[in-house]
Structure 1
Amino acid sequence: MRVLLTGVGTRGDVQPVVALAVEMRRRGHDVRLCVPPNFIDWVGSMGFTATPIGIAMRQSSGAAAPAAPPTPEQVRALVEHLARDQFDATASAAEGCDVIVAGGAHQYAARSIAERLGIPSVVAVYAPVALPSPDHAPGGEPGGDPESNLRCWQDESRSWNERLLERLNANRERLGLGPVSDVFSHVLGKAPWLAADSVLGPLPATPGLQVTQTGAWLLPDQAPLVPELEAFLAAGEPPVYIGFGSMPVDPQTGRVVIEAVRAAGRRVVLSQGWAELGLVDDAPDGIAIGDVNQQALFPRVAAVVHHGGAGTTTTAARAGVPQVIVPMFADQPYWASRVRALGLGTSVARGAQSAESLLAALEGALDHGVAARAAANAGAVAVDGTAVAADLIERASM
């Protein structure tokens, strides 16, 4: 079987698709990838052939200060470019393929290209709040009035149509396909997948959709920790990990979190991330690191302070370590609410960050009862999400 797997966005959007690619290749299938330009070398180093899609969302180190916000005309031009690029890249990579699997909701072309080729396709989302439901508003925490939530989803659909409907249909016309009336429902289709752990992110009510929950798509990582980090870990009590991944974090945030961790009497492992955060001084109680194998590191720390991305949340839960989430946007407030609801940690609203609030949250996460629940919950996190998805692909029951 020849499979095209496509992912757009940041590392958190792309890595699950790569995890599924590894499983499909392990089973002997021919796998092609569409990933943003800044991930081509990474997937190439793993032996995959990839077609660039979309734009590199990370600025290179030392880039100039951000320019002024784009004008409405510039936004429209960018959306038009991204839509056309997705259609062109996906169409090129999909030639000769038997199935297309697209990771993330912002997949404007995958189902249209599959329709043109007459092959099955599916879109997988990584968080329950990406699915229209009376149980939550778009991207919001669970709960609220069901009718109000559904009205919010109607507004969300209108927003997608305003941005993309004309462009989507123009690209479908290029393929000889008829127009669609609603972008978001077309992108998801009638039977999307939810690639999230069922304990951390249970499936909500989804009227009109037949959703299959596969479990999270986790990429196995055997990379060793660098000697400097190993030495730091061995030199004292388990430290607190701080990392915000690909988020555009203000450097002051890193400073405030470090102050809170120190006030709690803990050492610091600071992941520099895309924001290139740095330590505040040369004190021996902290170490700054680049990309790291979280699967190897997290079981050896006292707590994980992070932005609440689906992948980091799942990896920390699987490691049995308490979490402090500082959510910023998208699905991150949802994961923060689930960590609180399960008693696996605490969170701090983005607008309420201070050394005091972060210290209180960290002390709450380090509470013996929370730490014990986090450790006990580790075994409940499923690790076979890619296997479940691969079974579905092989049966073509999408």
Structure 2
Amino acid sequence: MRIAMLASGTRGDVQPMVAIGDELARRGHEVAVAVNSDLADWVTRAGLRAVPTGVDFKRFLSSAESRRMLAHGKVDTTIRRIVADEHRVNQQIVNACVRAAEGADVILTTVTMSLRGLCLEKATGVPSRILYSFPIVPTGDFSGIMPRVRDFRMAWANRGGSRMLNQLYWMRNKANLDEMSDLMGAPRVSRMPRQEERPGLHLYSPRVVPEPTDLPGGHELIGFPVLSDDLRDRLGERTVPAELDRWLDAGPEPVYFGFGSMPVLDPERTLRELIEVTARRGIRGLVGAGASWAGTPTACPTTCSSPGRSSTTTGSCPAAGRRCTTAARERRRRRCGPVSRRWWPASSPTSRSGAGGPNSCASEPPCRSAA
């Protein structure tokens, strides 16, 4: 089969697609990925054919403007800004999607590209399916990621939270979608699609978000796709820097704080708070500095020590975080209980602590035995 993948967003959005694409390629299928340009080289190193869309998410997330918008929970403002950036290169995005889907038997998309996948489906007749990396399909069990109330205790209100975000995303993207349909010579998508009506796979762990009791038919929660050791070798992400390796060997397994694309308004303050927390808990901490830490005027120290304890910061080093979690799993074999469904919504302001953002609800919960 020939599989087209339409992916857009941060590495956290794209990596699950790459893990699945790599496994499909290993089984003999042909895979092409239309992806934002800042991750195109990374997808190519994974051994998949990447088609750049011209969008640069890394530049957006590294800007002070995006950090302020995300940290203050301004979801609509963030969507407007992203849609405006996409509008400037919309024709290039359309061309990339069409090239990736040429001769495809199925189209798989991230949530952020699902509407474009539907446009392609209408233009080509090739079915498109959404791979959800976070819970956004309306459910009565808990509210969506947009309302600041985590559970309204009323099924209809909880569903309304997700539908409100989906409606907002549809409205903001409608002009770009109409242009895409016009460029392909296809009928415009006139009605907002309901996610419940389209089959999809949910790529997150039930230990992070419990499986909804009303998950629609055709939807399946399958867990988070993990990059294989062979794929990590190709990406150059299995080797831990020697200095960090020695630090990891010098004491008990640390707690890994991975920030990813979370906006951090004040990295130094955030790091100080993490040092204080790890010192109080009597544990070591490894801080994975995310995208918004780049370009910080005053660099964070490599190693920060408190009496008898230490915390270390590292840049984008997936191997380090993986080693921490693997070591803890193999040596302790501690079971982690499901995180409460009352996760911190994307729209909740977290600027008071200098950190926060849209991926907060996707973080692995701490082991209960370590709390």
TM-score scaled by length of structure 1: 0.69
Per-residue deviation, residues 69-104 of structure 1 (Å, max 9, x unmatched)? 889997764353465543221012211222211122
Aligned to 1:136, the other structure's residue is in SS state: coil
Structure 1 pair 158–274 and aligned structure 2 pair: CA distance change class (3 A): closer
- Does 2:290 correspond to 1:273? yes
In structure 2, the residue matched to 1:100 is 107
Match of 1:228 among 243, 253, 257: 243
Q: Does the 8 A contact of 1:100 with 1:121 survive in 2?
A: yes
Aligned to 1:134, the other structure's residue is in SS state: coil
Report 1:224-303 matches (<5 A): 224-249=239-264, 250-251=266-267, 252-276=269-293, 278-279=300-301, 283=305, 285-290=310-315, 291-293=317-319, 294-300=321-327
Compute the displacement of 1:24 (Å): 0.6
In structure 2, the residue matched to 1:174 is 183
CA distance in 2, matches of 1:136, 1:71: 23
Bigger relative CO (Cα 8 Å, ≥ 6 apart): 2
Match of 1:134 among 140, 161, 165: 140
User: Aligned residues, how many?
Assistant: 326
% identical equivalent positions: 25
CA distance in 2, matches of 1:74, 1:191: 29
- Does 2:203 correspond to 1:203? no
Aligned to 1:58, the other structure's residue is in SS state: helix
Structure 1 pair 24–111 and aligned structure 2 pair: CA distance change class (3 A): same
Counterpart of 1:196 in structure 2: which amino acid?
Y
In structure 2, the residue matched to 1:163 is 172
CA distance in 2, matches of 1:71, 1:211: 28
In structure 2, the residue matched to 1:307 is none
Which consecutive residues of structure 1, in runs of 5 or more, have no partner in the other structure?
302-314, 324-334, 341-347, 355-363, 375-398
Counterpart of 2:203 in structure 1: which amino acid?
A
* RMSD, aligned CA: 3.9
CA distance in 2, matches of 1:24, 1:321: 31
CA distance in 1, matches of 2:211, 2:327: 31
Report 1:110-129 matches (<5 A): 110-127=117-134, 129=135
Counterpart of 2:27 in structure 1: which amino acid?
R
Counterpart of 2:43 in structure 1: which amino acid?
V
- Does 2:47 correspond to 1:47? yes
TM-score scaled by length of structure 2: 0.73
Q: Does the 8 A contact of 1:157 with 1:184 survive in 2?
A: no
Aligned to 1:22, the other structure's residue is in SS state: helix
Compute the displacement of 1:34 (Å): 1.5
Counterpart of 2:200 in structure 1: which amino acid?
P
Compute the displacement of 1:135 (Å): 2.3
Per-residue deviation, residues 254-307 of structure 1 (Å, max 9, x unmatched)? 221122112323233222221337238654823322213233222335xxxxxx
Structure 1 consecutive aligned stretches of length 4 or more whose deviation exceeds 6 Å: 67-76
Structure 1 pair 295–172 and aligned structure 2 pair: CA distance change class (3 A): same
CA distance in 1, matches of 2:64, 2:205: 38
Compute the displacement of 1:215 (Å): 2.8
Aligned to 2:114, the other structure's residue is in SS state: coil
Structure 1 pair 365–225 and aligned structure 2 pair: CA distance change class (3 A): same
Counterpart of 2:156 in structure 1: which amino acid?
E
In structure 2, the residue matched to 1:387 is none
Aligned to 2:59, the other structure's residue is in SS state: coil
Compute the displacement of 1:184 (Å): 4.7
